[in-house]
Amino acid sequence: MFAVMKKELKSYLLSPIGYVFIGIFLLLFSVFFYISIFSYQSMNFEYLFYNGATILTFVAPVLTMGMFAAERKSGTEQLILTSPRSLTAIVLGKMLAAGIILVVTEALTLIYFAILDYFGDPSFKVAITTLLGFLLLSFAYLSFGMFASSITESQIVAYFITTGVFLLMWFLPDMASSLEMFSLISMFNKFPEGLISVSEIITYVSFSVLFILLTIIVLQRRKSVK
């Protein structure tokens, strides 16, 4: 698993993908930071992550769209399916590599907290709660994006499947209030308020585990067919 993680992490860092993700996220985050400070006179670090969650919806698929789709397109998927490493180790290795990129990106947002702390007094406790929620949301997004990449050989299709599902889940509460429990964004909105709910944490973790397992199943079925 760790060997796969190192290989995938290296591929993110030796190709534009990792830098494009980090660059786009921080660029857009900086724009919202500027608007928040100078237009709305807000000194709340946690409020920035409402916008951060929106950004993540569109840029997280950049990390996941090529995880398996690129392998299938190039024909190197056969190497994965016949590898002596288990499919579970391969899937978790890829997931962790993308997760590290996300953790680094999230850590870099603390620069904005430092700026706000210099001029004001933002709550560190609420900031940590917000970062926890954002991390859970990020891994939930990664798990589904990885699954989407496993069912197609087109990275573009994988991107739009992932983004489309994220947007659908985003608007579920508008369709019916009873569907709010299925909206990852709605669940995240509690964290910037400084609230940590066990039910939200369990839902995020369960969602992530579910799509990791589904990815393994998809690959296992493809392996058995081959």
Decide which of 206 and 77 is more confident.
Answer: 206
Decide which of 85 and 115 is more confident.
Answer: 115
Lowest model confidence (mean pLDDT) among 9-13, 19-23, 49-53, 83-87: 83-87
Residue 219 in this model has a pLDDT that exceeds 60: yes
3-state secondary structure the chain: CHHHHHHHHHHHHHCHHHHHHHHHHHHHHHHHHHHHHHHCCCCCCCCHHHHHHHHHHHHHHHHHCCCCHHHHHHCCHHHHHCCCCCHHHHHHHHHHHHHHHHHHHHHHCHHHHHHHHHHCCCCHHHHHHHHHHHHHHHHHHHHHHHHHHHCCCCHHHHHHHHHHHHHHHHHHHHHCHHHHHHCHHHHHCCHHHCCCCHHHHHHHHHHHHHHHHHHHHHHHHHHHHC
pLDDT of residue 178: 67
pLDDT digits (tens, 9 = 90+) for 101-119: 999 999 999 999 999 888 8
- Tell if the pTM clears 0.75, that is, is over it: yes
pLDDT digits (tens, 9 = 90+) for 36-83: 887 777 778 988 999 999 999 999 999 999 999 888 887 777 777 777
Decide which of 221 and 139 is more confident.
Answer: 139
